[in-house]
Amino acid sequence: MPPLIRRAVLPLLAGLASLAHAAPLSFTTALDLAERLSPKLAANTAMIDAARSAAIPAGALPDPKVFAGIDNFPVSGPDAGRLQADFMTMQKIGVLQEVPNKDKRRAREAVAAAGVGVVTAQRRVDRLGVRRDTAQAWLALYHLQRKEALFRDLAHENTMLAQIVQARIASGRAQAADAVAPKQEAAQLEDRRDDWARDEEQARSKLRQFVGVAASDGLAGDPPAFDIDAQQLRGHLHQHPELLAFAAETQKAEAEVAQARSMKKSDWGVELAYQRRGPQFGNMVSIQFTFDLPLSPTTRQDPLIAAKQHEVDRIDAERNGMVRDHASELDSLLAEYAALTRQLERAQQTALPLAERKVSLQTTSYQAGKSDLSAVLATRRERIDQRMRIVDLEAALARAVARLHYAYGQDGQ
């Protein structure tokens, strides 16, 4: 690129990049970005590439060997030390090829292919973990930011209360000390706001761990509404990536059992040599074959076969244990989801309307001089707590739904 064009284009590209970073972060974008930036998934990809490369030569024959030497060289007698005096003395050069038995080569190929399957299955597990953890971090920040508007509403309501109190004091229907109460309420509200700001920054820092600087630009949109069907989730239990990873490990272990059994069969080799003698004698060619003799399988091959078979049994037992763990976790999450759903419904449809009604009645009664300010403040605190509780319940429900979806729903498959 010519220097003039480069000087014109690079600032433009930098500006576009800054605009891209300044865009609010949606739920889907956060998950995709976390997947692209994850060091763990990058390591998984490298492991898969390494396993695939290692599988290429798995079933190949060993490299041939070249040898050179001297046979029947005299070291005593009248021809001692003379290379071409004795007709039996020969200089030789040749090649040796070892040939493992067919079952062993096939077993090595199966082990290598299963190794690729194991690291691929592990990548699915890690990918699910990255998406699940990113979803939880995004949801935590989302629901904390929802409280910001709530704090603004509460501050406005507190200002209105202070105006009511001042009006009653001015009319002589309230004591001057009542003017302090709204200020105390405002100070307490600011304390809670500081706690919220701390929690928000911690949540943003957690999200930044997965998506980098994109977490600093605010969030866009609402989280997706995942459909939770308990029967369907239980039906998909065995499709959990962690359980599928055991299937890949079992396949590799069984291939290693077959490889151990192949050691009971003899390998063989072939050796071809050219032998040169003195000028007065003719040169020769020789060929020979070698065969392994597995004469003690009870102390060599059988124990190795048994060890590999025990590894298969171990993987099977651990898988059964994980099935139980996931079944228990699924039941627990479904119970939590049902309880949170009912609690949120009661809070929104019953508890909050009652708290709003109670505040309205107490405020009206205070304006009419039929109750004191402490009763109004108490009911306001109840309403604040109820509104905060609704946001907390929504956050807890969203976390439970995300855990169900990313472990046992379609995204987890």
pLDDT of residue 316: 94
How many CB atoms are closer than 10 A to CB 171? 9
C-alpha pair distances (Å), 247 with each of 44, 96, 169: 18, 40, 77
Sheet of 268-276: strand order equals 65-71, 90-99, 268-276, 284-291
pLDDT of residue 16: 43
Which DSSP letter does residue 97 get? E
Average pLDDT rounded to a whole number, residues 225-244: 88
Question: Is a pLDDT exceeding 50 seen at residue 127?
Answer: yes
pLDDT of residue 368: 80
Which comes out higher in pLDDT, residue 6 or 175? 175
The per-residue DSSP string of 173-208 comes to SS-GGGGHHHHHHHHHHHHHHHHHHHHHHHHHHHHH
Question: Is a pLDDT exceeding 60 seen at residue 305?
Answer: yes
Question: Is a pLDDT exceeding 60 seen at residue 17?
Answer: no
Average pLDDT rounded to a whole number, residues 115-143: 93
Which comes out higher in pLDDT, residue 322 or 8? 322
Structure tokens at 403: 């855990």
Average pLDDT rounded to a whole number, residues 368-379: 78
8 Å CB contact between 233 and 400 = no
Question: Is a pLDDT exceeding 50 seen at residue 261?
Answer: yes
- Which residues face 286 on adjacent strands? 273
Average pLDDT rounded to a whole number, residues 273-294: 90
Q: What percent of the chain lies above the pLDDT cut of 90?
A: 53
Q: From CA 110, how far away is CA 105, in angstroms rounded?
A: 9
pLDDT of residue 106: 94
Structure tokens at 198: 């701390």
pLDDT of residue 10: 39
Categorize the per-residue pLDDT at 296 as very low, low, confident or very high, splitting at 50, 70 and 90.
confident
Structure tokens at 50: 């390494």
pLDDT of residue 15: 41
Structure tokens at 30: 């956060």
Backbone angles phi, psi at 133, to 5 degrees: -65, -35
Which DSSP letter does residue 267 get? P
pLDDT of residue 411: 58
pLDDT of residue 187: 83
Kindly report the average pLDDT of the chain as a whole number: 86
Give per-residue pLDDT as tens, 147-202.
Answer: 877 777 777 777 777 777 777 777 776 677 777 777 777 787 788 888 888 989 99
Q: From CA 353, how far away is CA 355, in angstroms rounded?
A: 5
Give per-residue pLDDT as tens, 205-228.
Answer: 999 999 999 998 789 888 888 888
Q: From CA 6, how far away is CA 19, in angstroms rounded?
A: 20
- The CA R_g of the chain, rounded to the nearest whole Å, is 39
Which comes out higher in pLDDT, residue 157 or 357? 357
Residues 6+ apart with CB under 8 A from 40: 126, 130
Average pLDDT rounded to a whole number, residues 260-276: 93
Upper half-sphere CA count for residue 23 (Cβ side, 13 Å):
12
Of 337, 109, 124, the closest CA to residue 241 belongs to: 124
Of 115, 122, 99, the closest CA to residue 56 belongs to: 115
pLDDT of residue 24: 87
Question: Is a pLDDT exceeding 80 seen at residue 369?
Answer: no
8 Å CB contact between 375 and 361 = no
pLDDT of residue 22: 54
| Strands 65-71 vs 268-276: parallel, antiparallel or unpaired | unpaired
With H, G, I as helix, E, B as strand and everything else as coil, classify residue 342.
helix
Which DSSP letter does residue 274 get? E
Residues 6+ apart with CB under 8 A from 227: none
Lowest model confidence (mean pLDDT) among 1-15, 128-142, 197-211, 379-393: 1-15
Polymer length of the chain: 413
pLDDT of residue 7: 45
C-alpha 80 chain-centroid distance: 74
Q: Provide the Cα torsion 206, 209, 213, 217; round to 10°.
A: -20
Structure tokens at 238: 């065995």
Q: From CA 210, how far away is CA 298, in angstroms rounded?
A: 54
Average pLDDT rounded to a whole number, residues 238-259: 91
8 Å CB contact between 166 and 181 = no
- Encode burial over 219-241: b for 16+ CB neighbours within 10 A, e otherwise: beeebeeeebebeebeebeeebb
pLDDT of residue 5: 47
Type of residue found at 241: P
Pick from 81-90, 221-230, 254-263 the range whose average pLDDT is largest.
254-263
Average pLDDT rounded to a whole number, residues 131-156: 86
pLDDT of residue 146: 85
Average pLDDT rounded to a whole number, residues 382-395: 89
Lowest model confidence (mean pLDDT) among 261-265, 316-320, 364-368: 364-368
Average pLDDT rounded to a whole number, residues 374-391: 84
